Chain A
């Protein structure tokens, strides 16, 4: 993706280092340690910290599509991995502090599945989907797509990291879900491709990262959460719980999102993405709860707490993102960092 604009000392220095625009690489990498330590020490809330979330996002991005002007070798640079781990530790602690995991169910597939459905069925906070269905303006639809584009233009990728870490029933279930996410071999049905089509229908740029500068910290945090869970094997239970929670909170909201785009006169080319998810995720949530999450816990009962934590974390961070967007919309202002960034 193209280089994003820095949001503070840490992201500015990281982008300069990997863009190789610094005089001394060694000196700059050491300075990066100090800058990140100082940022971590003074941030009041890492989930809403623009500079640290962008820095972490860019460090993760080296494992996905890469960053323009940054050489591919940076991906496994030990120094950058160390920086990433320090930010990850603080981020994980912040997420755990924001997440409530209740009493754990029995370590059986049905009990885990039932608890995940109970957890995801609890009403929490404002509903963005109802607002989009009934009231969102055209500009707000575009803002909504900006927030979602960070994850949906590469939909399913962060959860794919989990595939080689699972075995047996849980692995078969995850692959069954992911194959559907990727269109079962049919490119036009790949969910990221359907999302790109929706963006183009609204006259937006469907290049990955085109609107990253407009995405606030909490939107980056919701993406960083998936990469944190997906890229750390010790958190394999959490990435599985995260996916289950995503699938279980998708069908009905997507029906409402579709309605919002229809209300503004858009047809199947724009609503296809959302309509597909109503049907797909009604299938996926069953597979995810029973076979993937339940199957993982039955084969590895000590992961029970991690699975529930991953699900609860997905809901908690998702809820913070919804609050950020709805607070702005209710005050009739943009939920983006730079509203101009999405002008076309």
Chain B
């Protein structure tokens, strides 16, 4: 996933893509790097695949896998806890 995907709404001047889960006026996107866990993304964003098409999404705030073990990728399924994933270098 690219940084652009995380920041799909752009900042300020870019038009806000209509998305049923977005709140209307662009809300700043925040990405929380959860220690030993996923990336938690809040705000108005668009999650897209490599071809630019929107990925299936059913909730406003999502957790993206960064341990590689999720079977729901790109979403987290809690597998990082089973494999002892550590986010510290």
| Given A283-B61, A287-B61, A255-B77 contact (CB < 8 Å) | yes
Interface residues of A in 288-330 (CB under 8 A from B): 290
Q: How large is the interface on B (under 10, 10 to 19, 20 to 34, 35 or more residues)?
A: 20 to 34
For the complex, would chain A's binding face be called helix, strand, loop or mixed by DSSP majority? helix
| Given A189-B58, A287-B61, A282-B77 contact (CB < 8 Å) | yes
B72: min CB distance to chain A, Å: 6
Interface residues of B in 46-81 (CB under 8 A from A): 58-63, 70-72, 75-79, 81
Q: How large is the interface on A (under 10, 10 to 19, 20 to 34, 35 or more residues)?
A: 20 to 34
Which B residues touch A74, using CB under 8 A?
none
Does A252 lie at the interface of the complex (its beta carbon under 8 Å from any beta carbon of B)? Answer: yes
Would you call A283 and B81 a contact (CB within 8 A)? Answer: no
Would you call A278 and B34 a contact (CB within 8 A)? Answer: no
Chain B window 22-46, contacts with chain A (Cβ cutoff 8 Å), 1 for yes, 0 for no: 0000000000101111101000000
| Given A114-B35, A252-B78, A283-B72 contact (CB < 8 Å) | no
| Given A117-B81, A121-B81, A283-B58 contact (CB < 8 Å) | no
Does B1 lie at the interface of the complex (its beta carbon under 8 Å from any beta carbon of A)? Answer: no
Q: For the complex, what is the distance from the CA of A121 to the CA of B79, rounded to whole Å?
A: 12
- 20 pairs, A vs B, C-beta closer than 8 Å: A113-B35, A117-B36, A121-B81, A176-B60, A180-B59, A184-B60, A252-B77, A252-B79, A252-B82, A255-B71, A276-B58, A278-B77, A282-B72, A282-B76, A282-B78, A285-B78, A286-B37, A287-B40, A290-B32, A290-B34
B interface list, Cβ under 8 A from A: 21, 32, 34-38, 40, 58-63, 70-72, 75-79, 81-82
A interface list, Cβ under 8 A from B: 110, 113-114, 117, 121, 176, 180, 184, 189, 250-252, 255, 276, 278-283, 285-287, 290
